[in-house]
Amino acid sequence: MTKDVCVNEVYLTGKVITEAVNDHSVKDINFLKFFVSNTRLSGTEDKLPVIISAKVLQDLNIEIAIGKIVSISGEYRSYRDPNSGKLNLFVFAKGIRVFNEQEAFQNSNYVRLEAYVCKASDVRITPKGRRIVDVMVAVNRGLNKSSYIPCIIWNLSDAAAREIKAGDKITLTGRMQSRNYQKVVDDGTIEVKTAYEVSVSKYSITSVESI
């Protein structure tokens, strides 16, 4: 059965903080990866990975350089590492613009997803006392593939949280964010890891279906 293609829209503006390096190739087309820094109103910095086709950069005659301000349109995608099983999230850039030093730009970090709920947690309380619900969603895309995106929804009542169930079709908007955390590895040492997720500002359940 062919999966329906879901809405997946990303608009991101920020500063390039790493060089663009080869990530992978598909049918002789190289894809490059770099990181963009975007600052929240609170001052917290999100460092987000971006993957773009070298052909897109060539067609637009654009060179990615550290310190440049870029505006990106595309999709939020994920893939699971076959070796570690880790879910890797990234912005898949379909369009990009580089601002020169004299140009004004508007700070942007926006994502809109139409997806299916895979799993939703009960309400949990953060160390700062805020109520939060973790939701994993599947965003269907072309070629019968899906991207799995972790999302967090803030300040829900217990009743509202219970209304979000696996199989529901959900539309949500928010911002992409990065979050560092510590993990104890097998030898007992502590490693600092980075998680990526969507912080949801608005959502609605559009229908109840099976994934």
Which pLDDT tens digit goes with each residue over 61-78?
999 999 999 999 999 999
Asked whether residue 46 is assigned to any structural domain, the reply reads: yes
Tokens of 87: 């879910």
The residue out of 77, 110, 143 marking a domain boundary is 110
The pLDDT value given to residue 211: 44
Helices vs strands, H then E, count in the chain: 2, 12
Q: Are residues 131 and 104 in the same domain?
A: no
Least reliable range by pLDDT among 101-105, 133-137, 162-166, 198-202? 101-105
For residue 2, name the pLDDT band (cuts at 50, 70, 90).
low
For residue 4, name the pLDDT band (cuts at 50, 70, 90).
confident
CATH number, domain with residue 142: 2.40.50.140
Least reliable range by pLDDT among 12-16, 169-173, 190-194? 190-194
For residues 89 and 150, give the distance between their C-alpha atoms in angstroms, rounded to a whole number. Answer: 9
Asked whether residue 84 is assigned to any structural domain, the reply reads: yes
Note the residue count of the chain.
211
The pLDDT mean for the chain works out to 92
Q: Are residues 149 and 85 in the same domain?
A: no
Instruction: Give the whole-number percent of the chain exceeding pLDDT 90.
Output: 76
Q: Are residues 99 and 164 in the same domain?
A: no
The residue out of 47, 79, 110 marking a domain boundary is 110
Query: What are the two backbone dihedrals, phi and then psi, of residue 54, each rounded to the nearest 5 degrees?
Result: -60, -30
The number of distinct structural domains making up the chain is 2
Beta bridge partners of 173: 112, 202
For residues 120 and 124, give the distance between their C-alpha atoms in angstroms, rounded to a whole number. Answer: 11
pLDDT surpasses 90 at 103: no
Q: Are residues 123 and 188 in the same domain?
A: yes
Q: Are residues 87 and 101 in the same domain?
A: yes
Asked whether residue 18 is assigned to any structural domain, the reply reads: yes
pLDDT surpasses 80 at 209: no
Q: Are residues 78 and 56 in the same domain?
A: yes
Q: Are residues 102 and 126 in the same domain?
A: no
Q: Are residues 54 and 129 in the same domain?
A: no
What is the value of pTM for the model shown?
0.91
Asked whether residue 3 is assigned to any structural domain, the reply reads: no
Q: Are residues 87 and 134 in the same domain?
A: no
Instruction: Look at the alpha carbons of 175, 181, 185, 189 in this order and tell me if their dihedral is positive or negative.
Output: positive
pLDDT tens-digit map of 114-149:
999 999 999 999 888 999 999 999 999 988 899 999
The domain of 164 spans: 111-208
The residue out of 71, 87, 110 marking a domain boundary is 110
For residues 33 and 24, give the distance between their C-alpha atoms in angstroms, rounded to a whole number. Answer: 9
Q: Are residues 98 and 116 in the same domain?
A: no
